[in-house]
A = this chain, B = another copy of it.
Amino acid sequence: MRHFDQQLDELRSRLLEMSGLVESSIYRSVVALTEKDEQQAMQALQSESRINQMEIEIDDLATGLLALEQPVATDLRFITAAIKINNDLERMGDHAVNIAERALSLIHEPVVKPLVDIPLLASMVESMVRQSLDAFVKKDSSLARTVLTSDDGVDELRDSIYDELIIYMEKDATTIRQCLDLIFVARNLERIADHSTNIAEDVVFLVEGVDVRHHAEARK
């Protein structure tokens, strides 16, 4: 195996390690919220610095490959996709931290209602995250396109969660702070889904050479 191929493998496996950390952080933050589990929230918060450190290391690795190996064609596309995916993963990690913070703020509050549809939204989003990374690893652009089509469902569910929470707030002013926390949780989940969509778009571009950003018709 060429030294360069080994380094591409290294880049791929570092990204997988990063995505594992981020997925676990998202999962823990949601469990912290739904189970009122303080320990899971703390673990999600603690993984932030490791994720940040990995982002820098992966960036250095990718930029080093660009500089030293001067790759072309597919390899170049792979490395630029890796730089973008790395950035999306780090931001997903930030959203998981935000969710964990909201979970902590809600931990001693009696629940308004069994969290509306937030657990359902979380499971939709978690599967988008996993599928977008699987699509990247397997270079599977049809799986990536599945992620792109899931995004509309996430937006619809988020809207219905907002509407339901607003009704609670209007009925009972004492629930306002709690409902706001939940609105921000839904918002953070939706942003994680957006980052998965970005990754899926990068995968389609990587595999097919078709740029599907901002072009709904090319996503079909």
B52, B76, B176: the one within 8 Å of A214 (CB): B52
Q: Please determine whether A56 and B166 come into contact, CB atoms closer than 8 angstroms.
A: no
143-180 of chain A: CB within 8 A of chain B: 166, 169-171, 173, 176-177, 180
The stretch of A17-25, A64-72, A127-135 in contact with B is A64-72
Number of chain A residues close to chain B: CB under 8 A: 30
**Contacts of A53 on B, CB cut-off 8 Å?**
214
Once bound together, how far apart are the Cα atoms of A165 and B102, in whole Å? 18
Q: Is A6 an interface residue (CB 8 A)?
A: no
Minimum CB–CB distance for A91 against chain B, Å: 10
Q: Please determine whether A67 and B63 come into contact, CB atoms closer than 8 angstroms.
A: no
Q: Is A73 an interface residue (CB 8 A)?
A: yes
Minimum CB–CB distance for A150 against chain B, Å: 19
Once bound together, how far apart are the Cα atoms of A131 and B86, in whole Å? 26
Q: Please determine whether B83 and A73 come into contact, CB atoms closer than 8 angstroms.
A: no
Once bound together, how far apart are the Cα atoms of A80 and B56, in whole Å? 14
Q: Is A87 an interface residue (CB 8 A)?
A: yes
Q: Is A55 an interface residue (CB 8 A)?
A: yes
Q: Please determine whether A63 and B83 come into contact, CB atoms closer than 8 angstroms.
A: no
Once bound together, how far apart are the Cα atoms of A67 and B71, in whole Å? 7
A77-101 vs B: 1/0 string, CB under 8 Å? 1001001100100000000000000
A120-140 vs B: 1/0 string, CB under 8 Å? 000000000000000000000
**Contacts of A83 on B, CB cut-off 8 Å?**
80, 83
Once bound together, how far apart are the Cα atoms of A213 and B83, in whole Å? 15
Minimum CB–CB distance for A42 against chain B, Å: 19
**Contacts of A77 on B, CB cut-off 8 Å?**
63
11 A-B contacts (beta carbon < 8 Å): A52-B213, A55-B214, A63-B76, A66-B66, A67-B76, A70-B70, A83-B83, A84-B87, A166-B176, A169-B176, A170-B173
A-B CB proximity, top 5 nearest:
A70-B70, A52-B214, A170-B173, A169-B176, A67-B76
